Amino acid sequence: MARSMPQAKFAYYELEFDSVIRGHHASKETWTPMPEEEILECQPDTSHQAQQKDDYAIGVWKNNAVVGHVPGGAMSKLLHQFLLSHKEARLTAVPTHNRAYEVGLVVPCVYKATLPRSAKLGKENMEILKQKLMEIDIADEEYVTIAVSDIINKMY
């Protein structure tokens, strides 16, 4: 008897890249990273304090509180545009190590951008995101290393 595989309910394009979560020294008191054990949501941070530093600030959220930010500059602008590109565009961060010893908060992580395959020009938009991430001038983005994986189709 032939069996069919159950169809996945949702299909996504996924792009992963290495970077850091940055924050003020005060963030060290409110959050202790759990390397590879927690998935943190990333959303635009519209607070006055964040907007004073970066018009495109993206907060890294845990339990409805900002625990850090995506590095500012070209990276936050690019990812901010990505998040606004589709209602189901999603960005998450997974800490990979404990904090680096710096004045402010610096936590190495892997960011994962996802976009539903149903999104208009979804794969093309992910290809553009990948290319632009690879073009970011590392010298301008302190603590940013760009190691971008291939875009993959993922079923959830």
* Sequence-ordered list of residues with C-beta below 8 angstroms from that of 7, at least 6 positions apart, any chain: none
78-117 in b/e form (b: 16+ CB < 10 A) is: bbbebbebbeebbbbbbbeeebeeeeebbbbbbbbbbbbe
pLDDT at position 92 over 90: yes
Reported confidence tier of residue 130, pLDDT bands at 50, 70, 90? confident
Distance in angstroms (rounded) separating the CA atoms of residues 54 and 40 = 20
**Residue found by looking up tokens 């930010």 in the block:** 69
Nearest Cα to Cα of residue 111 among 92, 130, 126, 138: 92
Strand-pair partners of 116: 12
pLDDT classification of 19: cutoffs 50, 70, 90:
confident
Q: Report pLDDT for 3.
A: 41
Distance CA 62, CA 130 (A): 26
Query: 8 pLDDT exceeds 70?
Result: no
Using a pLDDT cut of 70, give the percent of the chain over it.
74
| CATH annotation of 11-150 | 3.30.70
